[in-house]
Every structure is written in structure tokens, then in C-alpha cells.
Amino acid sequence: MTNRDNESVFDYVIVGAGTAGCVLANRLSEDSANRVCLIEAGLKDRHPFIHVPALVAAALATPSLGWGYWTVPQGNLNGRKIPIPRGRVLGGTSSINGMVYMRGNPRDYDDWAAAGNRGWSYPEVLPYFVRSENNEAFEGSPYHGKGGPLNVSNIKRINPLNTSFLGAMQSLQFRRREDFNGADNEGYGPRQATIKGGYRESGVTSFLKPAMKRPNLEVVTGALVTRVVVENRRATGVEFQRGGETRRVAARREVIVSGGSIGSPQILMLSGIGDGAALRNFGIPVSHNLPGVGANLHDHIASSVQMVTSNSTSYGISLKALPRGIWNIFEYLLLRKGPFASFVFESNAFLKTTNGLDRPDAQVVFQPARRNQSTFPLPLGHGFCLSTVLLYPKSRGRIALSSPDPHAAPIIDPNILSVPEDFEPLVRGLKLARRVFATAAFARYKATEFLPGPAVEGDDALKDYLRSTAATVYHPAGSCRMGADDDAVVTPELKVRGIDGLRVADASIFPTLMGGNPNAPVVMVAEKAADMILGRAPLAPLQLPRDR
């Protein structure tokens, strides 16, 4: 269908085929009466690194699969620039991420609701997590779903070093947690992955591919959206560049921006929605003065204690491990089993690093492989490490335009560790990692501490170590914050303030990060957004027991 200007006309136009965009394309096109267009800057997800779970580091390091984003120099990290990998491919970052299925702590969503975001409490979002999920484990659990599009599984054969990690945590008298997505997430244990039959489960494989055969869904790849078209304070369509040409599609009902925490604020600003003074400086006509666009940027921050050993139990490339490695390759090619069917980081813990907290403030992630930055992504040699992730950073930064050219990367400044309190859980986590590696469970590996190194002792020295090594774990969020206040970018219905017919649905709307990996919450946001867009009643809240 076209209008008189030869524009393609759709009911809904979705900008960005990442996790949220794929979910929305599926749900909005379920009704054959809805004509839906999904626009993605990247190409199809054909690269082999995407689909083999253990090649996640290689996928992250492949330039053709990402945007190549870096932060500006971070003053609290000794002036270092930090990479911010984001997927530029069908499936977006779900095609290159770590495949971890985590929802965060139930109290995180209660906090959203308490801040004025009606409809976003844990009992109200839980049914959307359940609806999207096909969990191969936890049969009969009311916290989990069966038959949903997104497959979630246990790793059937984890590296033996994980047994040592779990044993060490037990010896230190931490709590064992079988399900990090149930009544609470405090404790240690193996974690679940979005993997199906030995392959990565992305937004494409779970949501988009089943919908692509529908005649009312059109997917456009290799198309860079340059702006949302706004007329009389209403979003009426989208302009994009493809094959050297600028094209336009019209939206009769809504435009939904799902470009992620970097892309969504950039697209809004290019469309004249943002801080008016800054936009005028770039010669961009102001559609709506909304200074909150790009603000509230934050991310999970991490640093690690790294060990090296001559023992070849860990994942890694060495002459000693060569026969096993060759067998593992054939095992995967023939059976889709073994280490190549795993996401490498197979166990972790959520812990309270100090007394008096109502939920864990740190995620401790065990890696049964040496972190060899000089050979990344090839894991040469052997070792293991424990990374401490700061779950609730107080530091806030911003996304800003660097140019009115939509091809130019925006300015990314998460302002990492700008609030002094953010150091404390990380320092406590580094100390805990040393305690873990000093237990009897790790004695047989005869490992030595490579980083920070035994000479680095005391809080001040560990803070210096953090300044030289800390980085994000690629969970940027909050840059189009949802809220009931006038400074928020979107309402609790995800509508962009001041512009009709325009919503944002992705991690950029998070008021605050949850205490865990954000991919599953983004799926939930998109599921909930689809019901809002279609005018459906929300799913009935699930009031389930919680740990106290």
C-alpha cells in the first residue's frame, strides 16, 4: 500500500531490529489487520560467530557485527576510553551478547512502580516474563513459562572449574540458589542461558523468524534511520538511508523507537526531540524541547581478580589442551554438544557485600578461562577469574550528539565511578574473590594471582586498580527514562512526552538498572509495550511468594 507521494504506508513502524524490535514485530503482526514495518541498520544474522555460543567473544570483536562505539575518556578511570559493543545486525545486541537469562531482583521493579511508574511492579511485570519464556528446566514453577517463543536452558555440561567455584562458595557459607529468577536472586549457583539445541537464541531466532512468513510484516535491513518525521507534534513516519537513497515510510498509528540505549536517544535528537539549545547548535529544528533525552545513562561496572595456572582444566588454547580442543570441535559439529554449546560464564552469585541491604548489591561472575587481553578474543593459556559487577551504580552520564550527521557516532559519557560510593561494593568484591580463590576448593590448581597481583593490598590500592581496570559489562540503560515526572522522556505507557504517535521500547526506558543482565527485562518491556500499543488489557498480576 502506498500514498500519493509513493511512500509506503504501515500501521506501525519499528525502528531497530534488536531484542525489543524483534519482539514487537512479532506481537504487533500477530493480527493480520496490522501492517508492520521493522527497519534495521545492520544486515541479516548470517555470520557463523553469532550462532555458536562459545564464540561470543569473537562475535563481539567482529567489526561488521557492531557499531564500534567507545565512551569519551573517563576521568575517574585514568582517562581511559571504554568500548561499548552494540549489535549492528538483525537481532541487534541479542545476536552478540553473552546469552545470560536473568531478570534482576523482584524489588527492582517495585522500585520502578514506587517512583510513579504505575503498572511496572514485580507482580505486574512477572506475567510478561512468563509469557515470553520456554524454560527447559523448573517444570511447573509459577515463576517460569512453557511454550513461549524464547528458549531458556541449563548448560548440560559445565566446565569442572565451576564445581570448585560452587564448592568454595559453600565453604564460605553463602546460600545456594537453584533459580536466580524465582522468589529472590541472592545466592550462588549455575545460571541459565538463551541457548537452544546448541545454538544462540536471539531476538531473531525466537521472535522474528516465526513472524517473517506473515505477509503483513516487512523487514528492511541495511537501512539507517535518519529521523522520525514529526508533523504538528505527531510522529507520522520515518526517514532512512539505504543503498545511497533517502526513503520514507509512513505510520498511520505509531512509530516505536527501539534503537537501544545509545541509538534511541540519538534518533530522537536527530528528529528534533531533546534539549532545544543543543539541537539548535547543530541546526536541527526543534520538534519538542525535552532535555531528559540522553540523560540518566548508566551501566553495570566490573573488575576482576585473575589467576593463571599450568593446569589445563580451564577453557583455553595450549599444546596440553590441543587433543581435547580438537575433540570439542568435532563434538560440536557432529552433535551440537560440549564446550562450544556453552556461553563460557556458567556460574555466578548475587551477594550482599555489606550488612543492612535489602537485596544483593554485587554480581560475582566466575569465568573458567584466562582473561588474556593481549590475545583477545583467542583464549591462549589457562587460568580463571572472578569478576565483581556493581549492580546499582549511582553514577550517571549522558548520550549527546556529536554531529547532525546520522552516520556519526554520538558522544557516550557514562561518567563511570563519578560517585565515590560506587567504589565500595567493587572493593569488597575484589576482597571476596581473593577469599574464594584461597579456599581448599581451588588449591589443586596451584594458581597464582596475575591481577591485581599480591602486592596490591588495602582499599586505596584496590581503588587505584579499579581506576586502571574497571569497565562496563555492556549493559547501558536509562537514556530515555520512563517516569511520571516532567523530566522523564517517556510516560509509564512508554509514550514520548509532548509527541503523539511515538513510543520508545528498549533498555533506554529503564528508570534504574535491575540487579542482573538486562536482555530478559528488555523482552519483558517489549511484551508489555505490545499490549499497550494494541490497547489490550494488561496481563493479570502474579502475586507469588518471595524470600525474606
Active-site positions read 475
Angle at which helices 161-171 and 423-437 cross, to 10°: 110
Q: Which three cell numbers stand for residue 442?
A: 581451588
Which residues are registered as beta bridge partners of 230? Answer: 235
Per-residue three-class SS string for 113-155: HHCCCCCCCHHHHHHHHHHHEEECCCCCCCCCCCCCCEEEECC
First and final C-alpha spacing in the chain:
56
With vertex at residue 406, the alpha carbon angle to CA 401 and CA 409, rounded to the nearest 5 degrees, is: 55
CA distance linking residue 211 with residue 511, whole number of Å: 30
| Sign of the CA dihedral running 372, 377, 382, 385 | positive
d(CA 267, CA 258): 10
How many angstroms separate the CA atoms of 341 and 449, rounded? 29
DSSP string, 37-53: EEE-SSB-S--HHHHSG
For the record, the C-alpha cell of 103 comes out as 531478570
Report how far residue 384's alpha carbon sits from residue 164's, in angstroms, rounded to the nearest whole number: 11
Collapse the DSSP code of 188 into the 3-class scheme (helix H, G, I; strand E, B; otherwise coil) and give the result: strand
Rounded Cα gap, residues 254 and 238, in angstroms? 10
Q: Which of 475, 198, 442 is nearest to 343 (CA)?
A: 198
* C-alpha to C-alpha distance for 418 and 452, rounded to whole angstroms: 22
**What is the rounded distance in angstroms from the CA atom of residue 76 to the CA atom of residue 530?**
40
Cα 113 → chain centroid: 21
Residues 151, 196: contact at Cβ < 8 Å? yes
Q: Rounded distance, CA 48 to CA 343, Å?
A: 15
Residue 40: closest CA among 17, 62, 57 = 17
